[in-house]
Structure 1
């Protein structure tokens, strides 16, 4: 059907726009894709890494909120002063005041005296681990400035691939959920035990109550048990949260290195001649960060090991030497404290052992890669020259055989570079170290045998005493 010139000239702009909108997608220009503003990009995928405050799209926001609620924010002088004051009050003064105020009451429970003894023994490792963890965090914040530098988020993550950055973003969310999964169930059990302990087992009688209280509020009307319950639970949450936070931060740092080692595993699939140099540079960067991580946490791990060993063996000796009946009301503190302390400490040990064995596994992977490249080179040399049918067969040969079977000087250089890489990895396969001792499964077996020997020795002494 033909149209006249008047109809074509008389067509309105609206109809022209409608005709343009109804044209096929292949003919129309692609619509511009809306770009997300920089404030809505994830922190780890933003190349600027300029955000430091707790905004809604910041993956570290949960950790910063936790630090603020636990009075661990050292970003300002006021926050640092409040942090030290909260530590002195919740980690030292409250447990000491509550322990002094406890009185045995045989009318409430026949095991009231032993319950007070067990409670005081249980406070020692919790306070000790909290002091070690608080000192570790204070040193971290003073030297490195904050969580971004501590977790290698400031500049080291920019050189990683998108796979590593996305995996680390998932690990950040998973780490905070792990912290909540460890803290909340143990908090419920500890609160239930403290309620039974204060209201059904012991009597709370502060020694300085008549002096502190005003005349209008007699001592017998003050709910000292409720006050002691709230103060003790708040103190326990603070001390346990500080310890678990450092353990989770160490595990998160180890997970970052594991993701980077997985990135190196993907680099072994690259069959260019420069692959050996790239793998060497990436492995040296990871080794530098592993060395920094070992220096940051080695004192914390050793102090936690000594504190947990001495306190738990002492608690075992006190419990076994006591002749009173054991129940949840008098030994619940020891059980909850032992479960939380071992959970956090094993988290550190297993994370360090995983990264160590990933580092040691690199030697085996590099040797297999080197052998496969040599075999591909030998196969390329021994194959017949081109014939009329060899073009079809050459299409079936992998890209590695075609790339390696090139000039002889290039193949010799590639062979020497791969051999040097394997030798380098063989002599630099360590992971997390503690003053020169590699923290791997062999060291974990040694620690387990040592702890079991001490436990058996304590049991033998208890049997002899009885």
Structure 2
């Protein structure tokens, strides 16, 4: 329950003594002062802002816990050192040690040699994407300091509308659930494949370096090297895949939060028709600045992931097609799981960027309809019926709200030149996420798809010619 400043002061003991000394004994105490309107209350006492900040803090706590469990917490020097040590151990040393420990055994499986080859080929893109993602996170935490600065949530709550603030917690919770939905099913499939791979397909021998240190402690033939390799490989895979998917989810979450801000501008056009063109311009320029910063932060990550996935998957396709052994889940499962996870994360980034780009380009159409409806309402004095449902088209909603405002205020609250200047500004600043000047929209996605399909067909033709 909220109280005004006068009520809070009146409830203190000192104020009670003063009121008793000032008022006569027979005089009744003064009536309580009415509550101050929300617009005149201090910002820290406004429940809307306090509630929104606490919800976002609670939701970001899930990401912070995930960062701590994955040894990606760079908030302290000890955490930073542990993060680099975990990356060297789980992303580099463990895959290399397991790869050199694998031995082909024809008695277990006739495709044992090809399974080892496929396994080593599958480790390259997973490690490469993990290195790119880890470097991206390290740069982010060193420059921006934390998740709130990375997601543009530091101080942005005061500038966002109530409509936008209500969607923050929902998008944050949805992003964390998406990360779990991508990681957990692929983990189950990868663990099942590794169990079949280590116990039914290949033989695991300790490296030569461990053979000198281990015998004084425990005979090598009594060590369950297959179980050790299974646990180490699964832990390494979870770490590398989790780092890559985390960066992809953070990029998608950034795009979704910016889409909420664009929907807030649409809400200003639709409902808050009293908002001046200058307010809409200031809000769009703030979002435009954040989109430019997002493009600069993630452009190297997106391009490096595109090159790594393209080269690794085309190379894996060439190796698999050139092999004469039978293909099964035991020898090619690594390639299938890696391909599914990598494409899922990368497509999530591309689709999120394309969605926010087209949402930004749609602003020109909404502003033009709004401008035209206001001009028609002022010149002809005709009022259009209000919108009946939220599923109506944007033109009918904008015309209905604008006509209602113009009917209530015949003089008009907007200047024709300011609205025309706003439409011109939106027409020349309608881009979203860019990659070194190229707008990441559906047209660029179609170009990438055609390029990748051309490379696949070229490799298939080479394999047919070689066979």
Please, what TM-score do these two structures have when normalized by structure 2? 0.83
| Deviation at residue 409 of structure 1 after TM alignment | 13
Question: In 1, distance between residues paired with 2:344 and 2:391?
Answer: 63
- After superposition, what is the alpha-carbon deviation per residue over 1:242-279, rounded to whole angstroms, capped at 9, x for unaligned? 00000000000000110011010011125756521111
**Preserved contact between residue 264 and residue 282 of structure 1 (Cα < 8 Å):** yes
| Deviation at residue 157 of structure 1 after TM alignment | 2.7
Question: In 2, distance between residues paired with 1:376 and 1:215?
Answer: 92
**Preserved contact between residue 386 and residue 404 of structure 2 (Cα < 8 Å):** no
Aligned to 1:154: 154
**Preserved contact between residue 129 and residue 243 of structure 1 (Cα < 8 Å):** yes
Q: Which moved more, 1:238-247 or 1:379-388?
A: 379-388
Aligned to 1:319: 320
Question: In 1, distance between residues paired with 2:39 and 2:403?
Answer: 47
Question: In 2, distance between residues paired with 1:21 and 1:424?
Answer: 64
Q: Which moved more, 1:214-223 or 1:323-332?
A: 214-223
Question: In 2, distance between residues paired with 1:367 and 1:131?
Answer: 46
**Preserved contact between residue 273 and residue 414 of structure 1 (Cα < 8 Å):** no
Question: In 1, distance between residues paired with 2:391 and 2:224?
Answer: 94
**Preserved contact between residue 352 and residue 432 of structure 1 (Cα < 8 Å):** yes
Aligned to 1:238: 239
SS of equivalent to 1:186: helix
Task: Give 1:55-454 correspondences, 5 Å limit.
Answer: 58-208=58-208, 211-269=212-270, 274-380=275-381, 414-454=415-455
**Preserved contact between residue 56 and residue 169 of structure 2 (Cα < 8 Å):** no
SS of equivalent to 2:326: coil
**Preserved contact between residue 49 and residue 154 of structure 1 (Cα < 8 Å):** no
SS of equivalent to 1:203: strand
**Preserved contact between residue 193 and residue 332 of structure 1 (Cα < 8 Å):** yes
Question: In 1, distance between residues paired with 2:238 and 2:35?
Answer: 43
Question: In 2, distance between residues paired with 1:321 and 1:131?
Answer: 29
Q: Which moved more, 1:285-294 or 1:158-167?
A: 158-167
**Preserved contact between residue 54 and residue 60 of structure 1 (Cα < 8 Å):** no
Question: In 2, distance between residues paired with 1:137 and 1:431?
Answer: 22
Runs of 4+ residues over 6 Å off in structure 1: 1-57, 381-410
SS of equivalent to 2:203: strand
**Preserved contact between residue 277 and residue 422 of structure 2 (Cα < 8 Å):** yes
> Cα distance 1:320–1:161, how it changes in 2: closer, same or farther (>3 A)?
same
Question: In 2, distance between residues paired with 1:63 and 1:3?
Answer: 35
Flag structure 1 segments of 5+ consecutive residues without an equivalent: none
- After superposition, what is the alpha-carbon deviation per residue over 1:266-294, rounded to whole angstroms, capped at 9, x for unaligned? 11125756521111111000000000000
| Deviation at residue 450 of structure 1 after TM alignment | 0.3
| Deviation at residue 152 of structure 1 after TM alignment | 1.0
**Preserved contact between residue 130 and residue 239 of structure 1 (Cα < 8 Å):** yes
> Cα distance 1:95–1:406, how it changes in 2: closer, same or farther (>3 A)?
closer
- After superposition, what is the alpha-carbon deviation per residue over 1:119-175, rounded to whole angstroms, capped at 9, x for unaligned? 000000000000000000000000000111001111123211122122011111111
| Deviation at residue 214 of structure 1 after TM alignment | 3.6
> Cα distance 1:389–1:178, how it changes in 2: closer, same or farther (>3 A)?
closer
- After superposition, what is the alpha-carbon deviation per residue over 1:199-249, rounded to whole angstroms, capped at 9, x for unaligned? 00000012326x121435111110000000000000000000000000000
Q: Which moved more, 1:381-390 or 1:266-275?
A: 381-390
> Cα distance 1:377–1:465, how it changes in 2: closer, same or farther (>3 A)?
same
SS of equivalent to 1:397: helix
Q: Which moved more, 1:266-275 or 1:133-142?
A: 266-275
- After superposition, what is the alpha-carbon deviation per residue over 1:317-360, rounded to whole angstroms, capped at 9, x for unaligned? 00000000000000000000000000000000000000000000
Please, what TM-score do these two structures have when normalized by structure 1? 0.83
> Cα distance 1:82–1:53, how it changes in 2: closer, same or farther (>3 A)?
farther
Cα-Cα RMSD: 9.2
Whichever of the two has the greater Rg, that structure is: 1
> Cα distance 1:434–1:386, how it changes in 2: closer, same or farther (>3 A)?
closer
